[in-house]
């Protein structure tokens, strides 16, 4: 019989990640994610390994959390079987879209019958051993924290866009640096213009696409026009 004191104490209603790992009757997996290749998962990895999850069962993605089209996550889904457990450090490492988070958690916990544990947020943990009240509260907290994660993602996008606008106003250029015009282009230019050398063949010889070749021709023409005006 459930102790009434436990029911009145919300923290006592939930099962933490360490206990879920200990009691898991299937295989325990870990999942971690960062948004860019430049970031590392060291803190997430340390937290997962501290629970005894071996490296070969920890899946990782370096991709945005806006959706779940991620190779590491999809590989994890393929491994999951009924009774398994997935451990994640925080909800925002799982995803940042309310709709996507709800759909994936439903798929994992209800269709695959797999438990999910969040190390830093035990009140979000889903397990077949959760009391009904804890399960209901967990679903409510998912909604709240999912909205928070999505709002943060939108704020990051807004801040990034604003930063790019300010940088552009200050003369910062984004994208790839333009390719330097090779000496061979100038040697071929007259032949390209008078039609004795096909543009496709010229681009192939120069090792560029036709778009780049046309850009060089336009720039060369603008340069010639500017020089003529200066001497006029």
Q: Flag whether pLDDT at 109 surpasses 80.
A: yes
The neighbouring-strand residues paired with 32 are 60
What is the pLDDT of the chain when averaged over all its residues?
79
- Rounded to 10 degrees, what is the CA torsion of 119, 123, 129, 130? 180
Residue range 156-175: mean pLDDT, rounded: 67
Which residues are the active-site residues?
Answer: 35
Query: Each residue of 114-133: pLDDT tens digit?
Result: 999 999 888 788 876 665 55
Helices 132-169, 98-106: inter-axial angle, 10-degree rounding? 140
Six-digit token string for 220: 């060369």
Question: How high is the pLDDT of residue 167?
Answer: 65
Is there a contact between 31 and 72 (Cβ–Cβ < 8 Å)? yes
Is there a contact between 205 and 188 (Cβ–Cβ < 8 Å)? yes
């Amino acid at each position: 019989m459930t102790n009434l004191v436990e029911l009145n104490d919300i923290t006592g209603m939930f099962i933490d990640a360490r206990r879920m790992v200990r009691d898991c009757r299937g295989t325990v997996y870990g999942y971690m994610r960062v948004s860019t290749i430049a970031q590392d998962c060291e803190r997430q990895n340390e937290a997962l390994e501290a629970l005894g999850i071996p490296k070969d069962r920890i899946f990782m993605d370096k991709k945005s959390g806006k959706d779940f089209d991620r190779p590491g996550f999809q590989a994890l889904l393929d491994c999951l079987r009924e009774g398994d457990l997935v451990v994640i450090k925080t909800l925002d490492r799982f995803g940042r879209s309310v709709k996507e988070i709800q759909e994936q958690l439903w798929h994992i916990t209800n269709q695959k019958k797999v438990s999910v544990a969040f190390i830093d947020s035990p009140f979000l943990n889903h397990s077949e051993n959760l009391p009904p009240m804890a399960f209901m509260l967990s679903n409510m907290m998912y909604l709240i924290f999912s909205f928070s994660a999505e709002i943060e993602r939108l704020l990051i996008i807004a801040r990034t866009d604003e930063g790019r606008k300010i940088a552009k106003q200050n003369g910062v250029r984004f994208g790839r640096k333009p390719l330097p015009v090779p000496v061979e282009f100038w040697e071929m230019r007259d032949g390209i213009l008078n039609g004795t050398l096909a543009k496709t063949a010229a681009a192939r010889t120069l090792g560029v696409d036709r778009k780049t070749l046309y850009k060089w021709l336009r720039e060369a023409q603008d340069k010639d026009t500017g020089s003529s005006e200066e001497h006029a």
